[in-house]
């Protein structure tokens, strides 16, 4: 790692040789973000040298706390500042002397506060850094998570481990630290891992365009997602979005679109989030994929990373629950998916097999009682899919509404069918697990989700969310060709059942 | 119960003295819905006489299986049919002879299948019942759940108990059995219990209007919700909706609004779900509250049952997570809630207390670092709320995105604050628990949700959902007056922490 050829100043962000953290208290009690950054890096297994800083000195976690940057032996590429804003100029001066490449200011109290002093300080910092070729991340942000380099900003907590050490395909940039944390955790929960994540806050120097440009060229990043409140250089950003979308899907959640949201964004990161109508229109032109929430970004990355784009919009749904299938049909229609009718001859054959008991519906969405063994059910679904020439198969398992069977048994039954189907049918398959939230149901869903993902079947919380994501994937592939979006389907090793609690069985 | 005065023929649906179930197999293996109905009634503690029926006789669960309805000693008010449709005429004849009041056909294979025989059978059944004054529920439905009378259609399963035996304030009618099951479970999970639930399927006799009329007069039902695919008599239904909305909130989820959904509804319950645009417009005129999903019905019942309607639309949000607050502001604006700015003097006082560290935002939504004790934080929030004259307080706890503290500790801290605030502030408080789904987080959320609910604070999954529900509550109270909607706030005994898993601590 230390011998890698540096081709961009931002490489130091993702592959620093040594890191110093300013503002580390040697006291283990109370909140001290400097100490938390040290812990996060230790937990993430950062392989380089790590130097806590504090004018009072001391020791923490077996590391000497250094009093001044200049005292530190050897080069420092990257400094994390957790000192109050009033010491920012002083620290930056020390960093300039030392030849530091990147300073990440976790510190807040700059342009986002309504105080001339804060805005002036921000301008000063920027000027000083610019003059001496130092790049600044932030201020007012969490910084960098890059599992391959042992970088993280989330330490292990008693009930909650830090970020995954597994490296993945998603590059995520976020103007919000909280949203970055939520994304990393939520994505990991869905089996999706990250290549590089940056929480970049006020973006006085390194901004969304710089990061987008970097991730566009980054070989480890197959898909890019962003949470954006405001943009520093709109023209450049839009140009980069257009260029990047040609080679990698770029998913954007642009918040602060209402007047209230704009004001909140200004207070959060000092961002000017801009006019209401303009953004969706501009984003559409670039070919970027628009999301309305972090959860939707997770849905989209999951879908883009697991299935080949359907060739058309004809879907067939197998569902459990008649009422659920009606909403499912509405939801598909609203996302532009077609549910072609089951041909009469197939309907009659299904009726012969399943009878006319309550619970059976022989149109599309299909709702079939679990009276067959998995092999027979798979053969039946295969018969329908092949008899119809559809583009996509959606399997809905509403396992908590099922009153006939043990839910652990019934979900297992349907998941078995889906996994068998995957090897028999050359069409994308998408699954929906729909259930009442409880710890036990959640654990059960976690296990079954992992089994589906290991087989290359993405899982969504509702037909509504699955259909929205499928619509976006089809649009993207129609615009940029299917070749760009067949991203993985090869590397499903992430989706492991090994971490799954067995409690529910 | 047996001595209650019967004032409506439908009283026999909810308070039958004796029940017979036709189509009960004495074989314990395989799927047999007749046997499942018997189990559900036994699990629910039905206090009356229970008679399984099957021409082959035998015994099940210690009960004799009777060969013919006419053999059964004593009166039978209510018969559940799980026999194939071809025996329906025969069974109904027996019921007429016996003087049965209500026949619930779980049996499908009537008007919902594309077969002239099915439609003719349905017409015959209706005619026979009408001539002899028998009321029919269904066909093609799950029937009645009424915990106060020991009626249920969900039996205990190995990993999942049947429906709650606790009686509550919500009457729910559903054209879908699956949606009825999902609602009961999801509502119970949110601390909401039902007075009466009817899954009424094809509705050839007892229909949505009959049930709405009944629930409107039912003293145990304080709020009515409905899942509707199609309506038998539109004019009567709309009139009843208008009348009922004057005295009780009526929440309607009308599915099958798209062409695809209409076709699905026709196959599900034979319903003509009608034109696309007409329904939302008609519903709005009646004053009924429109929901777009079963989850939204749960949100709405929860809110209507726990808080007094806010007097206006000015809200203040306390959130944890800056990015989350931007979307929160957008979501509030989209539901018509206002987030008035924090006055300058209050902002300065907050800055003095919390400093300008990253994580603090002093506008509305407010985002404050957890540096104070709960008492001090409560005093601070109280100062803001009283200094602003707002109508509603929204507390957002995004506990899995919080990287500073043990999540169990941090959520406990914020929930403690909310509960203390409730006794100090005379404004409605709404909480949002936002987290990454995992079994452990879900269990933790379950406990903290129960604590909040016990204190009369409703909990939602997101600001978006909370804001939508609040908007509906304000509209309802502005139209029909606040007096009708102050429903309970008195009976919070449902919301017990006793069932809460302690695993997370």
Q: pLDDT per position in chain A (505 positions), as tens?
A: 333 455 788 999 999 999 999 999 998 887 789 999 999 999 999 999 999 999 999 999 999 999 999 999 999 999 999 999 899 999 999 999 999 999 999 988 887 776 788 889 999 999 999 999 999 999 989 999 999 999 999 998 876 788 999 999 999 999 988 899 989 989 988 888 999 999 999 899 999 999 999 999 999 999 999 999 888 888 899 999 999 999 999 999 998 877 777 777 777 776 655 555 578 888 999 999 999 999 999 999 999 988 889 999 999 998 866 677 888 888 999 999 999 999 999 998 998 888 877 678 888 988 887 778 888 889 999 999 998 989 999 998 877 665 556 667 778 888 999 999 998 898 999 999 888 777 777 888 888 888 898 888 999 999 999 999 999 999 999 998 865 444 444 455 455 554 454 332 2
Q: For chains A and B, what is the number of CB pairs under 8 angstroms?
A: 332
Core vs surface per residue B36-52: b (16+ CB within 10 A) or e? bbbbbbbbbebebbbbb
B361 shares its domain with B434? yes
Contacts of A434 in chain B (CB under 8 A): 182
Shared-domain flag, residues B2 and B89 = yes
Torsion of CA A404, A405, A410, A413, to 10 degrees: -100
Does B175 share its domain with B104? Answer: no
A363 with A442, same domain?
yes
Question: Does residue A292 sit in the same domain as residue A412?
Answer: no
Residue of chain B with shortest Cα separation from A330: B261
To the nearest whole angstrom, how far is the Cα of A44 from the nearest Cα of chain B? 14
Pick B323's closest partner by Cβ from A114, A178, A370: A178
> Per the structure block, which two tokens stand in for B58?
């035998």
Q: Residue A125's closest CA among A55, A24, A211, A201? A: A201
Q: Which domain-ending residue is among A290, A306, A322?
A: A306
Same domain, B196 and B263: yes
CA-CA distance, A140 to A14, in Å (whole number)?
A: 19
CA dist., res. A251 & res. A226, Å (int): 6
Does B239 fall in a domain? yes
DSSP symbol at B503: T
Q: What is the 3-state secondary structure (H, E, C) of B85-97?
A: HHHHHHHHHHHHH
In a domain, B159, yes or no: no
The last residue of one of the domains, among B140, B175, B200, is B140
Q: What is the pLDDT of residue A410?
A: 77
- Give the pLDDT score at B23: 95
Asked if B324's CB is within 8 angstroms of A179's CB, the reply is yes
Mutate to test the interface with A, among B107, B145, B260, B333 (most CBs of A within 10 A): B260
Which positions in chain A touch B354 (Cβ < 8 Å)?
none
φ, ψ of residue B350 to 5 degrees: the values are: -65, -40
When divided into structural domains, chain B yields a total of 3
Residue A156 lies in a domain: no
Give the CATH number of the domain where residue A237 resides.
3.40.50.261
Q: How far apart (Å, rounded) are the C-alpha atoms in residues A60 and B116? A: 82
Report the distance separating Cα B204 and Cα B137, nearest Å: 8
pLDDT number for residue A259: 77
In A, minimum Cα distance to B271 occurs at A326
CATH number, domain of B58, equals 3.40.50.720
Low-confidence ranges of chain B (pLDDT < 70): 1-6, 114, 159, 270-277, 320-322, 358, 400-407, 482-505
Q: CA-to-CA distance for A310 and A390, rounded, in angstroms?
A: 9
Of A428, A402, A426, nearest to A413 (Cα)?
A: A402
| H-state helical runs in A201-293 | 208-217, 234-245, 259-269, 278-286
Domain-embedded: residue B367 = yes
A123 and A176 assigned to the same domain: no
Q: Using a CB-CB distance cutoff of 8 angstroms, which residues of chain B are in contact with residue A263?
A: 329, 339, 341, 363
Out of A285, A306, A327, a domain closes at A306
Q: Is residue A418 part of a domain?
A: yes
Q: What is the pTM of this model?
A: 0.90
Distance, in Å, from the CA atom of A159 to the CA atom of B502, rounded to the nearest integer, reads 13
The two structure tokens encoding residue B130: 């009408």
- pLDDT of B2 reads 39
Do B331 and B376 belong to one domain?
yes
Shortest Cα–Cα distance, B268 to chain A (Å): 6
| φ, ψ of residue B462 in degrees (nearest 5) | -155, 160
- C-alpha atoms less than 13 angstroms from C-alpha of A204 in its C-beta half-sphere: 29
Domain that holds residue A64: 1-141
Q: Would you state the pLDDT for residue B414? A: 87
Phi–psi pair at A312, nearest 5 degrees? -155, -165
As a whole number of angstroms, the distance between CA A240 and CA A286 comes to: 9
Domain assignment present for A161: no
Answer whether residue B161 is part of any domain. no
* B349 and B494 within one domain: yes
Same domain, B323 and B366: yes
Residue of chain A whose Cα is closest to the Cα of B260: A329
Tokens, residue A2? 């230390």
- Chain A residues touching residue B190 (CB < 8 angstroms): none
Closest CA to A171 of A222, A108, A213, A236: A222
Backbone angles phi, psi at A329, to 5 degrees: -65, -45
Identity of the residue in B268, B329, B436 whose CB atom sits nearest the CB atom of A260: B329
> For residue A342, what are the contacts with CB-CB under 8 A and spacing of at least 6?
A316, A350, A362, A363, A364, A366, A384, A388
CA distances from B438 to A442, A443, B409, B446 (A): 6, 7, 17, 12
Question: pLDDT value at position A413?
Answer: 85
Return the closest-CA partner of residue B255 out of B281, B298, B290.
B290
B407 and B488 both lie in a single domain:
yes
B259 within some domain: yes
- Residues in A closer than 8 angstroms to B180, CB to CB, are 323
Query: A58 CA to chain B: closest CA distance, Å?
Result: 22
The whole-number pLDDT of residue B486 equals 46
If asked whether residues B350 and B402 sit together in one domain, one would say: yes
Contact residues on chain B for A180, CB-CB shorter than 8 A: 323
CA A72 remoteness from chain centre: 36
pLDDT value of residue A487: 46
**Predicted pLDDT at A111:** 77
The alpha-carbon gap from B395 to the nearest alpha carbon of chain A, in Å, equals 16
């Amino acid at each position: 790692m230390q011998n890698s050829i540096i081709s961009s100043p931002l490489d130091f962000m993702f592959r620093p040789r040594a890191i110093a953290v300013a503002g580390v208290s040697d006291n283990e009690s109370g909140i001290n973000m400097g100490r938390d950054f040290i812990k996060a890096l230790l937990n993430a297994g950062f392989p380089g040298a790590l130097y806590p800083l504090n004018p009072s000195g001391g020791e923490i976690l077996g590391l000497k706390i250094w009093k001044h940057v200049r005292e530190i032996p050897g080069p420092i590429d990257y400094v994390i500042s957790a000192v109050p804003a009033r010491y920012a100029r002083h620290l930056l001066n020390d960093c300039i002397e030392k030849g530091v490449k990147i300073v990440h200011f976790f510190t807040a109290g700059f342009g986002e506060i309504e105080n001339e002093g804060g805005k002036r300080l921000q301008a000063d910092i920027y000027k000083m850094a610019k003059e001496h070729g130092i790049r600044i991340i932030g201020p007012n942000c969490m910084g960098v998570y890059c599992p391959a380099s042992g970088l993280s900003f989330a330490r292990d907590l008693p009930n909650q481990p830090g970020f995954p050490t597994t490296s993945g395909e998603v590059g995520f940039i976020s103007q919000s630290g909280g949203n970055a944390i939520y994304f990393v955790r939520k994505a990991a929960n869905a089996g999706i891992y990250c290549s590089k994540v940056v929480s970049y806050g006020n973006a006085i120097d390194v901004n969304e365009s710089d990061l987008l440009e970097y991730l566009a060229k980054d070989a480890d990043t197959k898909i890019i997602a962003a949470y954006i409140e405001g943009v520093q250089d709109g023209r450049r950003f839009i140009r980069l979005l257009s260029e990047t979308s040609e080679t990698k899907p770029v998913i954007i959640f642009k918040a602060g679109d209402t007047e209230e949201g704009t004001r909140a964004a200004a207070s959060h990161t000092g961002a000017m989030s801009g006019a209401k109508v303009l953004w969706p229109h501009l984003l559409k032109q670039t070919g970027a994929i628009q999301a309305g929430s972090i959860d939707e970004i997770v849905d989209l990355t999951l879908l883009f990373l697991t299935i080949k784009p359907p060739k058309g919009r004809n879907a067939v749904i197998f569902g459990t629950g008649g009422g659920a299938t009606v909403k499912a049909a509405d939801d598909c229609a609203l996302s532009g998916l077609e549910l072609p009718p089951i041909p009469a001859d197939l309907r009659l054959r299904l009726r012969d097999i399943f009878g006319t008991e309550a619970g059976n519906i022989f149109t599309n969405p299909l709702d079939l009682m679990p009276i067959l063994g998995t092999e027979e059910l798979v053969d039946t679904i295969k018969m329908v899919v092949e008899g119809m020439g559809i583009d996509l198969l959606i399997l809905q398992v509403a396992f908590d509404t099922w009153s006939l069977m043990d839910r652990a048994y019934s979900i297992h039954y349907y998941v078995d069918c889906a996994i068998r189907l995957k090897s028999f049918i050359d069409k994308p398959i998408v699954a929906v697990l729909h259930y009442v939230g409880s710890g036990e149901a959640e654990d059960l869903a976690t296990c079954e989700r992992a089994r589906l993902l290991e087989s290359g079947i993405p899982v969504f919380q509702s037909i509504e969310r699955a259909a929205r994501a499928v619509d976006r994937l089809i649009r993207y592939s129609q615009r940029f060709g299917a070749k760009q979006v067949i991203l993985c389907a090869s590397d499903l090793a992430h989706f492991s059942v090994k971490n799954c609690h067995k409690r529910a069985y």
